[in-house]
Each structure stands twice: as structure tokens, then as C-alpha cells.
Structure 1
């Protein structure tokens, strides 16, 4: 059996990175939605296709952040 040297404080003070990941996902979700709405209104106002592509990218970022938040919620309920 392999034994670890536990003289340090790391096992006692170790923290899960899930809280930081949740905060970053929330920020990405909010900013992504705001950016997507902004770019969509800009695309509708100017009629330029470039703004629509930027709106699609912002919406994709929002979708990834929402999926990540769902995964984190599932992990939290499982324990």
C-alpha cells in the first residue's frame, strides 16, 4: 500500500474549485446574453451580417456557460 506524507496543511485546507467555476460561469452567462442581445439589435438596426455572427458567438458562449452551470448543479445535488 502506498502511503502519502501528510505533514503539510494541504489536505486540511484544500478547497474545491467548483465555487470559482460557478462564479465564472454565471459571469459568462450574463455577459454572453447581454452581448448577444446587443449584437442582435445592432444587426437588426444596420442590416450588416457581421453583427449577426458576433451575436451567434455570444449566444454560443451563453449556451456553454448554461450547460456548465447545469453540470455543476447536478454535481452539487449528488454530493
Structure 2
């Protein structure tokens, strides 16, 4: 499978959210008032709604706090 870099934005009846991806790894997630792992879990559970993926290079991604805050492994060096 292809590992993408960019921003996934989601919208449903309860609100909106986004996930910042770098090489397929989630760096930051927000969904309504939820953040981090809880927000990503909420996005994954969506059954209806609209989404948009905006591919991007690393330099133009929103700043993140770092993968260690989200419980994900860091497979690359900055």
C-alpha cells in the first residue's frame, strides 16, 4: 500500500475533524473536542459523512507536537 503525506479532513452531522499524516503515520488528530488517540478513534468509527484528503509535502503541513504524544512509533528522523 502507498504511504501518503497530507491532511485528512472529515465532516459529519456531529462536527468536523482532521488528521495530519506523514508517510501514512498519524502525527496529530482532532475530532470535535477530542484530541490525539481519542480523536483518531472517533474518525475511524465514522459511518457517514464527507472527507477530503489534501496531499502535501512535509514543509507545508501544520505544526505538530511530535509522535511521542500520540503513542505512535516514529519511523523517520527529522
Give the alignment's TM-score, normalised by structure 2: 0.24
Higher fraction of strand: 2
Higher helix share: 1
